[in-house]
Amino acid sequence: MPGHGEVSLPGSGAIAGLVERIAPGRPLGDAKRLADVDRLDRQVLPLAQQLDLYFYLHSPQDCRVLEYPHGNYRDGDAVCGDDVAPFDARAATDYADLAAAIERSGVDVERVFRDRGGLYFQLEDFSLQYNYQYVYLPDGAAPPPNRFAVEEWTNVRGDWWFHRDHDD
């Protein structure tokens, strides 16, 4: 309400939750973004940095992928690709630790990857038009130039950004 701050109607939280279940993939509100970034910053980012992670994937098709200096590992059924590289004991432990950190964070992260100077935490969504991700750009770096007209960068806080890009 202009001049009076944010107004919350009784039941609005339940309605917002229902809309999210009916129409997933829509952009997240500011309060949710801040809470998500706080949890990613505390629970997932330190481990991703410690592992010097290049790429992590846990997809709905039960594909598991981990790429980092220790090696590149991939398993799952045929939809995951035919270039299976079995996890060794260390990679299996590192993957499980990262998956557990993501689970504890409560943020629906499907993949984590390095690109254009940042660490991207792509959210699981059902949009056919866009991908949404939180992006950690260290040292106050500005977002990279857009590759598509629909790309949008929103600063959440400090080095953390919310990024919408084209779903190819």
Chain segment 50-65, per-residue pLDDT in tens:
999 999 998 766 788 9
Distance in angstroms (rounded) separating the CA atoms of residues 73 and 55: 10
Distance in angstroms (rounded) separating the CA atoms of residues 126 and 96: 25
Please write the tens of the pLDDT for every residue from 107-163. 999 999 999 899 999 998 777 788 899 999 998 888 988 888 889 999 999 999 999
Residue 28's pLDDT is 67
Residue 7's pLDDT is 43
Contacts of residue 126, defined as CB under 8 A and 6 or more positions apart, other chains included, come to 24, 25
- Write down the mean pLDDT value for the chain: 83
> Per-residue b/e over 142-155, b at no fewer than 16 CB within 10 Å?
ebeeeeeeebbeee
